[in-house]
A and B are shown apart, each in its own frame.
Chain A
Amino acid sequence: MNRIYYPLTQAALAALLLSMLAPAALADRFTEADLERWAQEYMAVVDRGEKLFHGGLENENTVSCDQCHPDAANTHPETYPKFQQQLGKVAVLGEMVNWCIENPLESDPLALDDPRMVALQAYIHEQRRLVPLVPGKH
């Protein structure tokens, strides 16, 4: 992380003294550098998701998500949760991802908090960015 040190002026010295009385990090404060790092962390997971989506799941039959969903199109993440009529209940996106993994990919479902499931969903959402949320829409 890049930190810039300035010569200690009187005002800065006062601030430093004050900050020594306060907790080390302020919960509601973040810097441009923080924002950049968090975006990088997110994009790293998106990139992992992109690889998993394009054959990275190593399912035996080799069928991959992008074969039916190029650029994750036709996944409609903005519509979840919704009544998934084929399941007869309201489902989240991850349940439909698992449906695809179990059926066309003929593989075992992932836990909903499995890092691979998180990555797949990060990629799917990223490809659909800026589309307004319409939960429940079929």
Chain B
Amino acid sequence: MSQMNRRRFLRTGGAVLAAGSLPFSLVELAFGQSGPEDFTFAFISDSHITHIKGDRFVRNWDRGMIQAVAEANLLSPRPDFIFYGGDIAQLGTPEEIDHGLEILSGLRGDVHHVMGEHDYYLDLGEHWRKRIGPDHYSFDHKGVHFVVLNSILTWDEWTHRKWDTPMQRMKEMARLDNPDGSPFMVGDSQREWLRKDLSNISKSTPIVVMSHSPLQKIYRGWNFWTEDAEQVQELLKPFDKVTVLYGHVHQIQYNQIGNISFHAAMATAWPWPYPKTFVQEASHLPKLTVEMNRADPFFERDGTGWQFINMHTGDVDVHYALPDNENRVVAFNEQQDQPVDTLYQEESNRIPPQDHY
């Protein structure tokens, strides 16, 4: 997108955001003149569909997913595809995965999926793979190389411990703050697969990596963390432009480490606190991140949301669609060579709801 178009896009976007509710149809004005390699995709994540019994599911989490699907369907022009960032289910049961997929089936467009720990630790991903397909893969789209990793694996000693039942293992991993949990990792064999996958890709090709957990280390206690993050980053280092998009953390996070930009997705289900608000342990949220607004629990969808991603010349702009709140745009800034919030990045522009404690 030219500088002119880009400015107009940001301005139009801002005006529409100020007007609130569904800002998507006007995006077309900006994208209409963009170059052939520019495209958009939607990014929905962490719905945690929860089965109660029979045909009953937790209403709140259903509603979050239904709303994201409905809003993503209003995007105009249509996004090229949709990414689902993992944790479609809460306890990995076929009922939950099938119910989530049924809601997602309302999406207009192809969906690429990422495996989350809540999808995996009941049957080690068997039902998920049966319904969806492989948990790591890559594809090329309009000059961008997309890689999907399963980053929520852990040590075999933990996974194959003598559990009473598979559901016991699932529940141990489902509890975010579990001191008896285990850190996430991509693992040796998948990293070897990634090395081979990237070996034929030109260094000037923009790379987008999708993972469930952050491929950077923020807080180990809640698995805002991937144990072998540095080793994965090392494989991505030779490329000019890399973006990692991830779920799991249910909050706005963004960062720049060398050539790699990082962006997290909001959950459609519920927001998570920033780790620093658990004062008994140290954590390392990227300094670059301007935090999301503190959620008002009385507005059920506040603190939740989904994203649409504008890819232009290999850079990623993340548009956070936040029901019951002001939308946010975190866009790659070419001068600063890092993602910045287009409204709040300056210290003096921050607002009281962004103060988490």
B176 on the interface (CB 8 Å rule)? yes
Determine whether the beta carbon of A61 is less than 8 Å from that of B272. no
Q: How far is the CA of A71 from the CA of B277 in the complex (A)?
A: 9
Q: How far is the CA of A130 from the CA of B52 in the complex (A)?
A: 38
- A63-B58, A100-B297, A104-B60 known; A71-B278 Cβ under 8 A: yes
Determine whether the beta carbon of B271 is less than 8 Å from that of A71. no
A128 neighbours in B (Cβ, 8 Å) = 279
Determine whether the beta carbon of B176 is less than 8 Å from that of A70. yes
- A73-B277, A128-B279 known; A66-B177 Cβ under 8 A: yes
Q: How far is the CA of A61 from the CA of B80 in the complex (A)?
A: 37
**Secondary structure type dominating chain B contacts:** loop
Query: Can you list, as one digit per residue, whether each of A64-100 has a CB less than 8 Å from chain B (1) or not (0)?
Result: 0011111111101000000000100000000000011
B349 neighbours in A (Cβ, 8 Å) = none
Determine whether the beta carbon of A71 is less than 8 Å from that of B177. yes
Query: Can you list, as one digit per residue, whether each of B335-357 has a CB less than 8 Å from chain A (1) or not (0)?
Result: 00000000000000000000011
B221 on the interface (CB 8 Å rule)? yes
Q: How far is the CA of A7 from the CA of B217 in the complex (A)?
A: 62
Of B60, B176, B297, which one neighbours A66 at CB under 8 angstroms? B176
Determine whether the beta carbon of B271 is less than 8 Å from that of A54. no
B175 on the interface (CB 8 Å rule)? yes
B175 neighbours in A (Cβ, 8 Å) = 54, 66
A21 on the interface (CB 8 Å rule)? no
Size bracket of the A interface = 20 to 34
B226 on the interface (CB 8 Å rule)? no
- A61-B50, A63-B58, A127-B278 known; A70-B272 Cβ under 8 A: yes
Determine whether the beta carbon of B296 is less than 8 Å from that of A74. no
- A68-B270, A70-B272, A127-B280 known; A60-B297 Cβ under 8 A: no
A19 on the interface (CB 8 Å rule)? no
Identity of the chain A residue whose Cβ is nearest the Cβ of B357 in the assembled complex:
A76
Of A60, A68, A127, which one neighbours B271 at CB under 8 angstroms? A68
B183 on the interface (CB 8 Å rule)? no
- A70-B273, A74-B277, A99-B297 known; A62-B176 Cβ under 8 A: no
A9 on the interface (CB 8 Å rule)? no
Within 8 A of B (CB), among A84-138: 86, 99-100, 103-104, 127-131
Identity of the chain A residue whose Cβ is nearest the Cβ of B171 in the assembled complex:
A55
Q: How far is the CA of A67 from the CA of B118 in the complex (A)?
A: 13
Q: How far is the CA of A66 from the CA of B58 in the complex (A)?
A: 16
Identity of the chain A residue whose Cβ is nearest the Cβ of B352 in the assembled complex:
A138
B298 neighbours in A (Cβ, 8 Å) = 86
Q: How far is the CA of A129 from the CA of B280 in the complex (A)?
A: 8
Closest CB in chain A relative to B17 CB, distance in Å: 24
Q: How far is the CA of A63 from the CA of B273 in the complex (A)?
A: 17
A60 neighbours in B (Cβ, 8 Å) = 52
Additional 4 contacts, C-beta under 8 A, given A70-B273, A70-B278: A66-B176, A67-B176, A68-B270, A104-B60
For this complex, 23 residue pairs linking A to B, each with C-beta atoms less than 8 Å apart, are A60-B52, A61-B52, A61-B58, A62-B58, A63-B50, A63-B58, A66-B176, A67-B176, A68-B270, A70-B272, A70-B273, A70-B278, A71-B222, A71-B278, A71-B280, A73-B277, A74-B273, A74-B277, A74-B294, A76-B357, A86-B297, A99-B297, A104-B270
